[in-house]
Structure 1
Amino acid sequence: MAAVASLTNAPGGPSATASDPGRRPIRLAVVDDDPLVRSGLRILVGGSPDIEVVAEAADGAQAVSMAHAHWPDVILMDVRMPRVDGLTATRRIRSRPGAPEIIVLTTFNADEYVLDALRGGACGFLLKDTPPREILAAVRTVARGAAILSPAAVRRLVDHIADPAAGIRRARARDRLAALSDRERDVVVLVGEGRSNAEIAAGLGMSVPTVKGHVSRLLAKLDLNNRVQLALLVHDADLA
């Protein structure tokens, strides 16, 4: 099998699915240097009518080309691969406008670079032994624009990884957050605590649409891709 393969046609109009006849399936790409892992994920997705594997790659360099050629909605990205690793590939892919969401695949105890992937724009991570149903649920979640990594999980990672540069990042994060208004700061701290939009709205006496607007403006103001990066910034600043 070729290292990078297009498994369906490029996206056009909406495609029918069994669950929603008017909506096209989520376009998923798989990046892993182990062909057995890629094959297993294809088999897993094959039983789900609302997700389809449209491309795959065996390393990070191929992943960047594949993402540009096939425009998947979501990429499952391995971390440790030859030539170009998943961290570098994530940064390169997420730097482009309209980039797909990326879920990092990791063994957690072995990979010490997950935080770098999240700071590079990944929307979360999955352990490679995650139950199949949870993998599919994660793909659907990030395809809707939500993150699958809670700040509680971020804290586990922060506790797990010895970081001699924490003091420098704390100062830089606080400088970035210093420009926020008091209300924006209230919102960003609650995002860092892992609160949902509904929980933030209830806690601050705001409507959910207002909270969504605040979060969107915060991401733009701080030049961030998603709520995971926002939560990481809050934790770097030691505010949550």
Structure 2
Amino acid sequence: MIPQRIYYVWFGKNKKPDNIRNNIESWKKENPDFQIIEINESNFDVYKYKFTKKAYESQDWAYVSDVARIDILFNNGGFYLDTDVELIKSIEPLRNARSVWGLENSDAINTGLILGSEKGNKTLKELLDIYSKITFKHELKNHLVTVPIVTNYFLKHGFRKINRYQILENDAHVYPVEYFAPLHYWGGGKISKKTIAVHHYAGSWVENNIQWKKYNKEWVKKELILKVPSLFLKLKKMKQSLTS
């Protein structure tokens, strides 16, 4: 069973803005029996991995967080949430799984939405093994985004690119988009009765991340083509008429 702990990362020692403090308060409100723990320079060795060492030295805090969250949960167990995640329901019912993951869209698993795990989880160990072989370089960070790294790992372990609840190897429970990412980063979406958390996409690193934007832009285009073919053809004809 996953311990009653929620971790978040705050490297760089900057002051937390009001919206982040409000999100953390929502975690406490919905989970009064959980311990809330901040991961920072005092309780995580940023030099433990080549990846985090280089990311920390270049002040790319989000990339330090990508590995720190996995390491902390592997060694202690609990849940991790990005600071721009607001909880609107308790995560207590999720504790029976060996690990918990959230879909950002039908073909992307994002550990920032939620990551829950028992201590010593095999899946987390294998992800740490992947990161231990990667050296972070600031100039190449657009190719080191955690979403495709984690998603590609799961594609080799039973993950299917569909927006459905899936239980994969090692009892990894992957939840559909509406549970943890009901509002899309490009706009739109809606909160449903199944929604547990809302990811507000406050990270400034996302705005400048070419690879991340390209990865998701391609997904949006694919969804339009597959699911709304008539709309896609109509837009295409409109574009042709304007350019002719």
Shorter-normalised TM-score: what interval? 0.3 to 0.5
What TM-score comes out, normalization by structure 2 length? 0.32
**Greater RCO (Cα-Cα under 8 Å, separation 6 or more):** 2
What TM-score comes out, normalization by structure 1 length? 0.33
